[in-house]
Amino acid sequence: MNKFQCLACGGVYYDQSPEGIPYAHACAPLPADKKNPERERPDKRDENIVIATGGKLMGIKSEGAGVTCLTSDTINEPKWISAVNKAVAAREEKENA
Amino acid sequence: MGSTPISDWDVRIQAAEIGLDVQHASPPTSAYVGKDDSLWIMCSNNAASTVTVNARFLMPNGDIKLNQWALNFTLSRAAQFKQIQLPECFLLSVALVNNTINSATNISCYVAAIVSRLVPTAFNAAQTLCQGYSSGTMAISWPTGVNTTNVDCVGISRIIQGTTPAAGAEISETVPASAKWRVASIRFSLTTSAAVANRVVNVAFDDGSGFIFAATGVTFNQTASLTFVYNFAQGYAGVTGAGTPAAVQLPSPMFLPQFFRFRTQTVGIQAADQYTPPIYMIEEWLQP
């Protein structure tokens, strides 16, 4: 389990819930102020998985401004996202062959 | 007068009237797999999973074969399909079991066995043999066994620790893709800065694009330099306890489909106010 900081919203989170199930971070909307209503961040990160028609795994919804790992110098994203990206790359390679 | 017990002799003298033609018997199943058909295994999960498939086949020459496959599936609550190419045969039985080995304790895995010529999305499946949630000790099997849809059952209970928002920012938690949640309780704290203001904490539910359809909140202020604990849960009566801890009723039942959110909306929040990460309990179903 590693701790990450979202570089878009500044939120800090673990990549797993206490039970060991992967956790997907998604930035909160920007609050309303005197000039603007409540709105989504332009650089919003959303780690929820996108599935295309036919069950094709497409990766996470939005990388946004990225993340930094606070507990390891060698990891640059949650491990489960790396596994998903690897599966997407393998599928694309198979389709292009 | 007592009754006369039936003796073995009484049973033995009955002549058999039913004969079995075992040399020309038809297969006892309706799952014919043609030369262009395949057995497809569908898996939807909340963590990477291994599904073991055991199947028995009646081959054209009369042989009965047993085979086993271990299929690895990536994390995806949406349906993933893997193809098992079979020779022409009759399927006699299929059993699927999620035997993932890792440290996670709440892996939810919805599996199905399908006979189809193409990837068995909703329009292509020729025959769904069995489907249901499987754990390390519960196999889903065909032709005997219990089929379950993905929602006609008790969901898996999960405790999740969410994101710690930056100072001055709100809590926001999103239902993952292809999941359905019932939110049972949410707990967090708010530490207010020295900036003078009256903060009022609310929890809102929206569809992921900002349309709020339900909200609930406290009826008291949190002033500067204080830490209050907030509990939102189904079953609480109204709002009780200003301060530590506050207990607030959640709308019930609150079912949330994929990408819906719950989040705080804090009247009077200041730049240095700090929320802890929310700890929340949900019941989760997969929606492949």
Residue B259, chain A, CB below 8 Å: the answer is: yes
Cβ of A57 within 8 Å of Cβ of B81? The answer is: no
How far CA B47 is from CA of A53, B98, B153, B217, B227, in Å, comes to: 21, 11, 20, 34, 36
Cβ of B102 within 8 Å of Cβ of A20? The answer is: yes
For the ranges A85-89, B130-134, B162-166, the maximum mean pLDDT occurs at B162-166
B280: phi then psi, degrees, rounded to nearest 5: -135, 150
Q: Which residue of B74, B169, B177 is in closest CB contact with A28?
A: B169
Mean pLDDT to the nearest integer, B53-78: 91
Q: What is the pLDDT of residue B61?
A: 86
Residue B256, pLDDT above cutoff 90: yes
Which of B153, B120, B161 is closest to B134 using CA atoms?
B153
Residue A57, pLDDT above cutoff 60: yes
Q: Return residues 99-158 of B near A (CB < 8 Å).
A: 102-107, 119, 121, 158
Query: What pTM was computed for the model?
Result: 0.86
Cβ of B106 within 8 Å of Cβ of A19? The answer is: yes
Residue B278 and residue A23: Cα distance in Å, rounded? 13
Q: Which residue of A40, A54, A87 is in closest CB contact with B121?
A: A54
Helix or strand holding residue A86 (H, E): helix A79-96
The confidence band for B1, taking pLDDT boundaries of 50, 70 and 90, is very low
Q: Return residues 186-225 of B near A (CB < 8 Å).
A: 210
Helix or strand holding residue A80 (H, E): helix A79-96
B153-210 pLDDT per residue, tens: 888 899 999 999 999 999 999 999 899 999 999 999 999 999 999 999 999 999 998 8
